[in-house]
């Protein structure tokens, strides 16, 4: 008799991750891994404020209506993606400067973090895609007890690594 086991339901997408180029994916995939480990539904799209501005606009305009609660915008060199996204939504936007350019991410750091007043981009460190995911999860955990517990367990695990080290 055929198995009646049903596939697990896909988690609702609560975090949208955008990145400026396919070349960014090895770093940006770390954000996906963190969110998946915490049980947070997310999606990753390659979109660029420079190269695909209309598609960025369409994505951001529909994000909140599709249930997305936090956006993460990653890019190297002149990161205009994060600011452009933040200009078009009231969702919190976390910017990740990437070290893909010739000056190891300093260009991306400054262009991500130095936003004009009223258009905030909460910026993490250079190549900080893991921390962007943790920060997104902490924002969601304010109204999600299961996620708050998962974050606490994760932190406990990290602390355990120090227990037997002199
Ligand atoms: P390529 O490797 O495709 O030439 O891209 C990307 O995030 C990438 O790190 C080089 C770098 O350009 C970045 N990029 C931006 C934006 N779009 C692409 N900073 C943007 O819209 O801000």
Q: 88 is in which domain, residue-wise? A: 13-160
Within a 10 A sphere around the Cβ of 66, how many other Cβ atoms? 12
CA 33 – ligand 1 centroid, Å: 22
Q: Report the domain count for the chain.
A: 1
- Nearest Cα residue to 22 out of 60, 59, 52, 61: 52
The closest-lying atom of ligand 1 relative to the alpha carbon of residue 19 is 7
Q: Is residue 65 part of a domain?
A: yes
pLDDT tens digits, residue range 60-112?
999 999 999 999 999 999 999 999 999 999 999 999 999 998 999 999 999 99
CATH number at residue 52: 3.40.50.1970
In angstroms and rounded to an integer, the radius of gyration of the C-alpha atoms of the chain is: 17
Whole-angstrom Cα distance, residue 119 to residue 23? Answer: 27
Predicted TM-score (pTM) of the model is 0.95
- Best mutation site among 19, 21, 132 for ligand 1 pocket (most ligand atoms within 8 Å of CB): 21
> Does residue 138 fall inside a structural domain?
yes
How remote is the CA of residue 159 from the centroid of ligand 1, in Å?
A: 36
Give a yes or no: residue 79 inside a domain.
yes
Nearest Cα residue to atom 21 of ligand 1: 49
User: Which among 60, 79, 49, 58 has a CA at the least distance from the CA of 16?
Assistant: 60
Q: Is residue 7 included in any domain, yes or no?
A: no
């Amino acid at each position: 008799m055929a198995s009646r086991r049903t596939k697990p339901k896909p988690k609702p997408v609560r975090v949208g991750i955008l990145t400026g180029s396919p070349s960014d994916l090895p770093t940006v995939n770390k954000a996906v891994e963190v969110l998946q480990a915490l049980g947070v539904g997310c999606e990753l799209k390659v979109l660029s404020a420079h190269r695909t501005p209309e598609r960025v606009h369409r994505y951001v305009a529909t994000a909140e209506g599709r249930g997305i609660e936090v956006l993460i915008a990653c890019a190297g060199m002149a990161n205009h993606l994060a600011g452009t996204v933040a200009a078009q939504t009231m969702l919190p936007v976390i910017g990740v400067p990437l070290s893909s350019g010739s000056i190891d991410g300093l260009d991306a750091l400054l262009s991500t973090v130095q936003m004009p007043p009223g258009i905030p981009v909460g910026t993490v460190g250079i190549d900080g895609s893991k921390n962007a995911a943790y920060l997104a999860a902490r924002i969601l955990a304010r109204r999600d007890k299961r996620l708050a517990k998962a974050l606490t367990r994760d932190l406990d695990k990290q602390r355990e690594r120090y227990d037997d080290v002199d």
